[in-house]
Chain A
Amino acid sequence: MAEELTPISNDDVVWMEEPEMGFWESTFLPAIFSGLKNSLRHVTDFKPVTQQYPEEKPDLPLNYRGVHRLNRDDKGRVKCVACMMCSTACPARCIDIVAEEVPKDDPLWADRDKRPKTFVIDELKCIYCGMCEEACPVDSIELTHIYDLTGFTRQDMKFNKEKLLEVFDQTKDNPRDPIRTHRGVLGPASDFTSLPPVGPATQIPQGDKASKPVSTDVIKQG
């Protein structure tokens, strides 16, 4: 019983002794002076790492998720087919779409059945997770690299269809925001050919309760 409760065997315990302080160490002064020298070196050899934000724009990673845009297709129409997939996938429920049927007699829309009448994203509610991007079957909604969005009112931050298309016009020529038109291909997550192996974060010792398979009467056992 007593053996079982010992967490690790005594032979496996390595006792570390704090090293004895030497003469100079116990007087503190050399360490203080070398520290002061180090501080002074940063002042004399000044290499700032600060980014001066409004003047210097930061170089964001390519998978940065910023403000949304609604893509246009080659005829300049909104690409969205109002399938509601993005608003369904959205965990923050910030996308509000009202669909309408396309006018039958308009030759421009002859190849479509539906289009969004209104398309509103509340940028304040959005958590920029990119799920709408993944869900969109026609690659219409995409996240751009615009990160510095501001507004004076909450209403300003509700982006409607026109504003989202405007964002597209602003960003389509930016090489950092390429238009991903791979219709019929799954989203960016499908580009992974292999996933990293997932293992336990720590080694579980033999005989530990956690290493045993969960049984139905786990409460009775414990």
Chain B
Amino acid sequence: MSWEFFLVTLITIGVAFGGLMGTIAYLILVERRLAAFIQDRYGPNRVGWAGLLQPIADGAKFLLKEDVIPGYVNKTLYILGPSIAVFTAMAGFAIIPFGPVDQAPSWMRFVIAPDVNIGMIYIFCVGSLGVYGVILGGWASNNKYSSLGSMRASAQVVSYEIPLGMSIIGVVLMTSSLSLNDILMHQANQGVLGWNVWTQPLALLIFFVSALAETNRLPFDLSECEQELVGGFHTEYSSMKFALYFLGEYAHIITVCFLTAILFFGGWQFPLIAEADSAYLGATLVKVVVLLTKVLMIILLIMFIRWTIPRFRFDQLMNLAWLGLIPMAAMNILVVMTAKQFDWPIWTLPLGSLAIFVAAGLIGTSGKFIVSDQTVDFSESPEGYVHVHS
């Protein structure tokens, strides 16, 4: 391993890490402003022009606030919680290509850890480890609200890791590779119609919904529950440790948005301006911009969803995952496997997705989706109590 490789790795880590941190800081501002606009407010607009210095003020506040560690907590685990949350989120970002890797200049290769063959598995491994930070934080806080929040988080992860993993199996089968760059190139070589969003819309839907749950975003942020309950796993956390949790969460969101763009929306590929064989001056830069634009669009969609869909109740969340998403994801895998085995043309895949979707809707319409054949009998209750027969 030459020293140049080492140097390039250091530069890449510096650029990616710094860019990620700055992006997170400013995405929080974007989210606050957007939330304000959706709710007919102004949002933070005092610090700097249009509130542009607000992230710096927030950061300064997080650093200067008193760092409280309650006396009754397990100190080691309490501090370990946010560290794990941030560490796993950053480690997950390591294999995300944020530009065209094969055309990268020598001093910057657009990915921190290149050529990871098991990229998808690595991302899901590291990403699901992030919930350990939440569980650990909630448990070490020695507080029943915190531990309930972390319980909800762990139950949620149990439900949502499965459809998340299952939804991308179709994409992986299509490409015969787990490497993100291979999946990207497979789509880029086929042009805009080769994007996986056309061939596997159902997989995109399942992946996106599970990813929202995985990153603890609304409507699935049961582990936080700030409005309805006292709080979630972070009840006892203050100042920078609190901020680290949400830094990790936001980094995770960015990772997931990169994944969505790369797996389903063709990564940096865009018709006419950024094709796989385009070699005009600055094409690399254009590809980076295209990818980042796609990612930004998905992040904005997630922000919109936050203020559109109310938070799911716990049983609704479980119902959706176990009775809705997992069977649909399993059926989708079956369809892709069958199509690949018998060499069916590519247009059978979206038809298969549509068929599964319609079938799920029809099952929901017939009322067998949610188990409720309870009858209420009031007549034989002279005391006025209600007997429920199931």
Contact = CB atoms under 8 A, between A and B. Distances in A.
Contact of A39 (B304, B357, B364, B379): B304
A35 B364 contact: no
A38 to B, nearest CB: 7
12 contacts: A2-B382, A5-B383, A6-B384, A10-B378, A10-B379, A24-B361, A26-B363, A32-B305, A35-B308, A36-B304, A36-B308, A39-B307
Interface string B10-38: 00000000000000000000000010011
Contacts of A7: 384
A48 B382 contact: no
Interface stretch (B39-47, B52-60, B162-170): B39-47
A39 B365 contact: no
B256 to A, nearest CB: 18
B364 A21 contact: yes
Contacts, number: 70
Contact of B41 (A10, A20, A50): A50
B309 A32 contact: yes
A10 B41 CA distance: 50
Contacts of B34: 43
A40 B131 CA distance: 32
B41 A49 contact: yes
Interface string A20-46: 111111110000100110111011001
B384 A21 contact: no
A5 B382 contact: yes
A218 B146 CA distance: 47
A19 to B, nearest CB: 11
Interface residues of B, number: 28
Nearest to A6: B384
Contact of A26 (B309, B364, B376): B364
- Please name the 4 residue pairs, one residue from A and one from B, whose CB atoms are nearest each other, closest first: A26-B364, A2-B382, A27-B361, A35-B308
Contacts of B382: 2-3, 5-6
A9 B307 CA distance: 44
Contacts of A21: 364-365, 367
Interface string B283-315: 000000000000000000100110111000000
Contacts of A219: none
A13 interface: yes
Contacts of B116: none
Nearest to B361: A27
Contacts of B360: 26-27
A47 interface: yes
B359 to A, nearest CB: 10
A42 B38 contact: yes
Contacts of B242: none
A52 interface: yes
A15 interface: yes
B362 interface: yes
B364 A43 contact: no
A13 B40 CA distance: 43
Contacts of B357: 27
Contacts of B362: 23
Given A42-B40, A46-B40, A26 B304 contact: no
B369 interface: yes
Nearest to B45: A52
B369 A26 contact: yes
A42 B308 contact: no
Contact of A15 (B365, B376, B383): B376
Max chain A C-beta neighbours (<10 A), residue from B39, B308, B367 = B308
Given A20-B365, A23-B361, A26-B361, A49 B40 contact: yes
Contacts of B307: 39
Contacts of B301: 36
Interface string B332-368: 0000000000000000000000000100111111010
B308 A39 contact: yes
Nearest to A32: B309
Nearest to A8: B384
B389 to A, nearest CB: 14
Nearest to B310: A35
Contacts of A38: 308
A13 B365 contact: no
A50 B41 CA distance: 5
Contacts of B365: 20-23, 26
Given A36-B304, A39-B307, A27 B364 contact: yes
A49 B363 CA distance: 44
B364 A46 contact: no
A75 to B, nearest CB: 48
Nearest to B42: A50
Contact of B37 (A3, A6, A15, A43): A43
Contacts of A32: 305, 308-309
Nearest to A34: B308
B37 A35 contact: no
Interface in B368-389: 369, 376, 378-379, 382-384
Contacts of A50: 40-42
A111 B40 CA distance: 59
A48 B364 contact: no
A42 B378 contact: no
Given A10-B378, A22-B365, A26-B361, 12 more contacts: A21-B367, A23-B362, A26-B369, A32-B308, A35-B308, A36-B301, A36-B308, A39-B304, A47-B40, A48-B42, A49-B41, A50-B42
A87 to B, nearest CB: 42
B203 to A, nearest CB: 15
B378 A36 contact: no
